[in-house]
Amino acid sequence: MRCVSILLASVLAASLAHPADRSSGVIKGTVFDETGKAVPLARIRLLRLSPSQVLKRYDRADGHGSFAIDGLAWGGYMLCASKEEDGYADNLLDLYATGQRPTAVITPASPTQSVIVRIGPRAGILLLQPVVDAVTGKALPSVSVTIRRYDNGAMMRIGYQPEVLLPPLTKISIEVAADGYLDWFYPGSLERGKAEVVLLRPEEKLAITVALQPMR
C-alpha cells in the first residue's frame, strides 16, 4: 500500500511539474483610449499573422476594459479594438489605423500573453443625406461611397449609410458613385482632379448632400 501511495504521489508531482500538453492559448489585456482611460465593453478583434487571417470571432472587454480571449491556436496574433457607438472605429482596417497595433505570440511554452490595446482619437463623422438623381430628385436605391486616405492609400467602399465614421486628423477624399451616373467627388465636382481634401477633427461632423448626374 505504501508503494502505491508513493507511486501516486510521484505521478501527481510529475503532472504538476509538467502539466498535460495544452492545445490552445490565451491572450489577455486591457483597452485604453487616447487619454489613458480604460474603455469598457470595447470590441476586440484578432488577426492571425501566419497565415494572415481575421478570426471569425468577436470578443468584448468587461466593464473595466479588460479581456481574456481563450481557445487560440498557437501562433502570432495582432489585436485591434473598437467601440463605434462611442466614436472609436475598428482600427483593424488600415483606413482607421492610428498607431502601432499590438501583437502577441502564444506557444506551448508560453500559453498566456498579456497586451495593452490603445484606440483613439475618436473619429470624425460624415452625415450623408440620401443620394438623389440630379434631374428627377428621386433617391437612388444603390450607391457606393468610397473613403480614401491620402497618406497610405487605404480605402473603404460601402453602400449608403446616413452616418459614416471618418479617420480624424487625416487627409481623405470622398467619392460617391452609382451605375448609370457620373462619379461625384467632394465637395461636388465631376472631375477627380478637382476634388478637395477632407480633414476633420475628432468628433467633428461634416454634412453633405449628393445629387448624381445621369450619363448621357
For residues 163 and 111, membership in a common domain is answered with no
pTM of the model: 0.83
Q: Are residues 135 and 202 in the same domain?
A: yes
14-37 tens-digit pLDDT: 444 444 457 899 999 999 999 999
Q: What is the CATH number of the domain that holds 200?
A: 2.60.40.2190
Same domain, 65 and 110: yes
| Among candidate residues 118, 153, 168, the one where a domain is terminated | 118
Provide the domain limits for residue 202: 124-212
- Integer Cα distance of 117 and 32 in angstroms: 6
Query: Does residue 85 form part of some domain?
Result: yes
φ and ψ at residue 40, rounded to 5 degrees: -70, 145
Degrees to nearest 5, angle at CA 62 with 57 and 63: 145
pLDDT in tens, 81-138: 999 999 999 998 999 998 789 999 999 999 999 999 999 999 999 999 999 999 999 9
Contact partners, residue 155, CB within 8 Å, separation at least 6: 95, 146, 147, 148, 149
Q: Count up the domains in the chain and report the number.
A: 2
20 or 39: whose pLDDT is higher?
39
**Is 88 domain-assigned?**
yes
Residue 159 lies in a domain: yes
Residue type, position 191, single letter = E
Strands, E assignment, 132-185: 132-133, 144-149, 155-159, 163-166, 172-177, 184-185
Show the DSSP H helices in the chain as ranges: 2-17
Single out the residue in 118, 134, 169 at which a domain terminates: 118
Q: From 84, 118, 152, give the residue that closes a domain.
A: 118
CA distance 167 to 155: 11
32, 82: one domain: yes
What is the residue whose three cell numbers read 470622398?
A: 174
Cis omega (within 30 of 0) on the bond before 108? Answer: no
pLDDT in tens, 158-197: 999 999 999 999 999 999 999 999 999 999 999 999 999 9
Q: What is the CATH number of the domain that holds 85?
A: 2.60.40.10
**Are 112 and 32 in a shared domain?**
yes
Q: Write down the pLDDT at residue 7.
A: 39
Whether 13 is in a domain gets the answer: no
Helix (H) or strand (E) holding 70: strand 66-72
Q: Is the pLDDT of residue 46 over 80?
A: yes
The per-residue pLDDT for 52 is 78
